[in-house]
Structure 1
Amino acid sequence: MTTPTGFAELQELVLPALANHHGTLFAGQGLQLMAKAAFLAARSLVQREVVMAAVSRVDFVAPAPVGHALTLRAWVSRVGRSSMTVCVTGSAGLPGTPPELVLQGLFDMVAVDAKGRPIPLDCAYLNQEPLL
């Protein structure tokens, strides 16, 4: 199965090394995984390097306990001159149970050149409809 451009999916097992003192996914670890998913989705769409410019919103909706499988899905929802907005959701659950939404956020990513400066995106991406 081929992953569409502008979309990324990551899976991670919530292990004790990713957990806080309550035995659930530590918020900082969750944010790091969400940022990785946003990066991969943005880069897959524009086929060039990108960096994170902002995190508009992150919601920790529910705890993800140790032992749960975490699935992160990211997709580009808006494309501007050199920036993109990437939506990220995270669902977690045990085998045989329906996954529950545990994380969601909006990330602003910017296409950059070799010196890290913003560069315009190809006209084909501008003002496109949301991918998902």
Structure 2
Amino acid sequence: MSEFKTVKSSKVTISVLMLPSHSNFSGKIHGGYILSLLDQIAFACASKFSGHYCVTASVDTVDFLNPIEVGELVTLKACVNYVGKSSMIVGIRVEAENIQTGQVKHCNSSYFTMVAKDYDGKNTNVPGLILSSQQDIKRFINCIKQISLKKERNLHEIIYDYKSEKALEELKKYNVKLEQNQ
């Protein structure tokens, strides 16, 4: 008999105050620092849901929407949106709050594919996912579409002839100069 868990049971939220040490040369919070926080919460979310150690298999989307300022309180909210046999897609929303004005802005949306591992480091099964709301269903279906697009893109990479005249001709519409010995 398979075990099933709700999306709600996977939810993890963390909040971190942004310090000057987290900033880049332009005085905004460094994207790499946010990526590190994203990876941490994806791990926590996937591990909590699966009950296993999890690793990051891929970062499918990271959209930086608004800059984050020093002194803002950043809150990351994560939940499992999709499960396969041993993999999970974790959706993450990042918001930054100006703690003086209370203004909140959406700064980032991300999707991490995480894989559950057993004690020997082999892939292990994860619980099934109970979809309890229209939002849960929407997110699950969007993940199915995302997986399908990824498979299509990978297939295209395998079969596309980059050396063909057609491919080289298509390059002319871009801001590139072709200097190769043919």
TM-score by length of 1: 0.88
1:48-107: per-residue Cα shift (whole Å, max 9, x none)? 111110000001111001000000000000011000000001100212322101111000
The residue that corresponds to 1:115 in the other structure is 120
The residue that corresponds to 1:61 in the other structure is 65
Give 5+ residue unaligned stretches, structure 2: 1-7, 140-182
Q: Give the greater-gyration-radius structure (CA).
A: 2
Aligned length in residues: 126
Higher strand share: 1
- 1:72–1:88 contact (8 Å) kept in structure 2: yes
Give 5+ residue unaligned stretches, structure 1: none
2: CA distance, partners of 1:91 / 1:120: 32
Instruction: Report the CA distance between 1:42 and its aligned residue.
Output: 0.9
- 1:70–1:92 contact (8 Å) kept in structure 2: yes
- Secondary structure of the structure 1 residue equivalent to 2:9: coil
2: CA distance, partners of 1:26 / 1:66: 10
Match of 1:81 among 82, 85, 89: 85
TM-score by length of 2: 0.65
Identity %: 30
- 1:5–1:41 contact (8 Å) kept in structure 2: no
